[in-house]
Chain A
Amino acid sequence: GENVEQHPSTLSVQEGDSAVIKCTYSDSASNYFPWYKQELGKGPQLIIDIRSNVGEKKDQRIAVTLNKTAKHFSLHITETQPEDSAVYFCAAGLSGGSYIPTFGRGTSLIVHP
């Protein structure tokens, strides 16, 4: 089965800095890679996703890159703000009728004002 490793487990930055969270996956068949943001007391929320036929995707201050050869993908947040503070999860899986992604263990991002 799929195995997803996520690093770092905790990331502390100053407001305005960039933050990068990295994930590696093991199953080369995986083709869908979402990222979720979980704020305190809430459920995870999908913030961006990327498919294996794309190398990079950007949405305002967040971007995701995918390296299929190396089997790793990363979340990049630029110009961080205190409201970016949350736990971020990556996931990997094979899209299809019984799609069940494997989640990383999460990264707690703290943005200091």
Chain B
Amino acid sequence: DTAVSQTPKYLVTQMGNDKSIKCEQNLGHDTMYWYKQDSKKFLKIMFSYNNKELIINETVPNRFSPKSPDKAHLNLHINSLELGDSAVYFCASSPAGFGGTNYGYTFGSGTRLTVV
């Protein structure tokens, strides 16, 4: 199946721990993103990568670090987790990019992070 896959689906961890969320897309898209969805469903952009290069880095704590080993993967590493980091994190991809004409996103199914 062509899709955006992210793992794990659920992540429960203690404050202060370090954790990673992995994301892979097999759609051949050039651009990948990380979004945070809070309890009120608001979708906030965190990072955007185009062909492994960081394009957008919104105001997020530097405890969050994205890593893109190739254009099909964009992982999110979070250091020293805090209670306020609890949210659902979505990876997405889009053919948007230089010369592209289709900008619709394909989202992964989300990772529900709970920090206790």
Task: Report the nearest A residue to B31, measured CB to CB.
Answer: A99
> Can you show 25 pairs from A to B with CB atoms below 8 A apart?
A34-B103, A34-B105, A41-B110, A42-B110, A43-B92, A43-B108, A44-B43, A44-B105, A45-B107, A46-B104, A49-B104, A95-B96, A97-B55, A98-B50, A99-B31, A99-B96, A99-B97, A100-B33, A100-B48, A100-B56, A103-B43, A105-B41, A105-B42, A106-B42, A108-B41
B31 to chain A: which residues have CB within 8 Å? Answer: 99
Mask, B42-61, CB within 8 Å of A = 1, is 11010010100001100000
- B residues neighboring A (CB under 8 Å): 4, 31, 33, 40-43, 45, 48, 50, 55-56, 90, 92, 94, 96-98, 101, 103-110
How far apart sit A106 and B39, CA to CA, in the bound complex (Å)? 12
Return the chain A residue nearest B30 by Cβ. A97
Q: What residues on A are CB-neighbors of B107 within 8 Å?
A: 36, 43-45
Q: Contact residues of A with B, CB < 8 Å?
A: 32, 34, 36, 38, 41-46, 49, 87, 89, 93, 95-101, 103, 105-106, 108
